Amino acid sequence: MGLFGPSKREVWEQLSREINAEYVEGFWSGSGVQAHVDNWIIVLDTYTVSNGRSSTTYTRIRAPFVNLADFYFCIYRRGLFSDLGKLLGMQDIEIGYPEFDEDFILKGNDEEKVRQLLSDEKIRHLIEGQPRFHLEVKDDEGFFKNHFPEGVDELYFRVPGVIRDIDLLKELYELFAEALRQLCEIGAAGSGNPQVDL
């Protein structure tokens, strides 16, 4: 244990043991955790963005899936700029759960599917438990990154900083498992292996 508590490696290795996943030490991409849920693979890792003067490290979780409905959404915590955006006409879907609607901005290309996804109480509870939150469906990661086959997208979570709280990490893993299953339930995701290596 370091001066500022357990290291990322210690916490993430513990996480991999507790969720029956694999801790992977990579050469180029750094270390991460790979977990299997049904036919999906959930990958937890970090990456750093530099703007020349400073850099920011992000914790991210990704899970490719077959997107049967071309369904895209984005969920994040409400803040000063999101309130301003809403005043200027930015989309914010309401799902009928007042506290959740108050705390989060919801965007999507199918409002009914967003409501169906978040009708699951466990999913809402797991989202509400995260102090910082940004979850979306992305189609791929752009130039020089993974290009997904046609019809494959990824469930994608990202926040600044390195998450070293084992409970938050376990809840994020659980959220991904629940969300992927709920996406299947509402006809937005296929249950098969998307055949993508991250």
Q: Dump the DSSP string for 62-95.
A: EEEEEBTT---EEEEE--HHHHHHHHTT------
The per-residue pLDDT for range 73-97, each reduced to its tens digit, is 999 998 766 655 555 556 789 999 9
Comparing CA positions, the residue from 155, 153, 171, 175 lying closest to residue 163 is: 171
Question: What local confidence, expressed as pLDDT, does residue 197 receive?
Answer: 79
Provide the mean pLDDT of the chain: 88
Q: What is the pTM of this model?
A: 0.89
Residue 178 scores a pLDDT above 60: yes
Give the CB-side neighbour count of residue 50, counting CA atoms within 13 A: 2
Q: What tokens were used for 166?
A: 């084992």
Q: Is 34 helix (H, G, I), strand (E, B) or coil?
A: strand
Q: Using DSSP bridges, classify how beta strands 40-50 and 31-37 pair: parallel, antiparallel or unpaired.
A: antiparallel
Q: What tokens were used for 143?
A: 């130039």
The per-residue pLDDT for range 128-171, each reduced to its tens digit, is 999 999 999 988 655 445 678 888 999 999 999 999 999 999 99
d(CA 179, CA 52) in angstroms, rounded, equals 37
The per-residue pLDDT for range 10-27, each reduced to its tens digit, is 999 999 999 999 999 875
- Chain center to CA of 144: 21
